[in-house]
Chains A and B, each alone.
Chain A
Amino acid sequence: MELVLLTIAISILIPIFHILLINIFRIDGLHIKLMFVSFLLYIFVGIIITQVIFQGSNEIIMYYITSLSTSVFMCLFYMEAFSMIARGFSMRIVTDLFIQKSLSPEKLMEDYADGKGINWMLEKRINGIENLNLITKQSNNITLSSNYSFFIAYISLNFKKILKLGRGG
C-alpha cells in the first residue's frame, strides 16, 4: 500500500519534469516527445525508490510490478489532462469566451483559437494524421495511404459496431 501511495505522490514529478524540459529546450512541437521523456524519468525514479526501499525482499518483483502499474496509470492520467489543455475543444471555447468577455456563436467560430477560426481546427486534425503518414493530400483530394490507417479504421468501425456507439468524433 505504501508503495502505491508513494508512487502516486511522486507523480507530481511528471509535470515538473515536463515543464522543466519544455523550458530548457524551448522548441515548438516537442511537447509530446518531452512528455514521454518525463514519463520515462518518472518511471525510472519509481523503480529506484522501489529498489532502495524493498531491497532484499522476497517479493521484490511484485513490488516492481506494483510500482510500474501505478506509474503507467499516472502517466496515462497525465496524458489525458495534458491533451485536454493542449487540444481540448470545450476548453478552447471557454478560454476564448473568457478572453473576449462575450461572443456570438458566429464571432466565436471566426475568432476560435486566437483568431485562427474554426476551420483551422479541422485542418489541424487533417495535418496531424497526414504527418503520421496515415493519409496523403493531393490538391483537394485526401486518400488513406498506409496499411496502418486501414487497420485503425477497421478496428474502430468494428469496435463501435460491437458496442453500438454510433459514429463518434
Chain B
Amino acid sequence: MTDRSLPRKAPDLKRLLEPLVRHGVDFVLIGGMAGIAQGSAYPSFDLDVVYARGHANASRLVAALEEIGVRLRGAPPDLPFLLDSQTIENGANFTFITPYGDFDALADVAGIRSFDDLKSSATEMEIHGIGIRVASLDHLIAMKRAANRTKDKLMVEEYIVLADEQKARAREGKS
C-alpha cells in the first residue's frame, strides 16, 4: 500500500545544502525541490539530491551527513547503521531523517543515464546565497516519467508546460 504519511515539516534547505557545499560534495538537486526552483507550483516535502559515485565524494558526503545528523528513515530504531564512506560506496540510495527535515541522497535514479549526464545539463542556481546545481527540466521530466506514479504523471505535464514557458521567456529576453 502507498505510504501517504507526511513529514512533520518541510525541510530547511539552507541547513541541508550548506554543509554539502562546504564539504565539496559533488551533487545535483533533483525531485520536487528542483522542480520548484525551476518554477513548479507543486509542493514538495523532502530534499532529494543525486551524488557522484567514487571514494572521494563518498567521504565528503559522509562528512556533510555527520555534520547534518542523519538517521535512516523508516528503519527500525535498533537497525545498526554505520555512516562511513564504505557504507555509502556499498549502497546507492539512502533516505534519511534529519533535524532539518527529510533528505534523500541517491546515486542510482531511474530515468537518467549517468551522473555526468545529469550534471552537464543542470542549471547553476543560487539558493539563499548557496550556489548549487539544479537538474534540468528535461532530466526532471525523464525521472518523473520513469517513476510514473500518479503524482509524477501530473508533474510531467506541468514540467512540459514549464519548459515551454521558460523557452518563451528566453525568446522574449526574460529570465
Chains A and B come from one and the same complex: no
Q: Which residues of A are at the interface with B, using a C-beta cutoff of 8 A? A: none
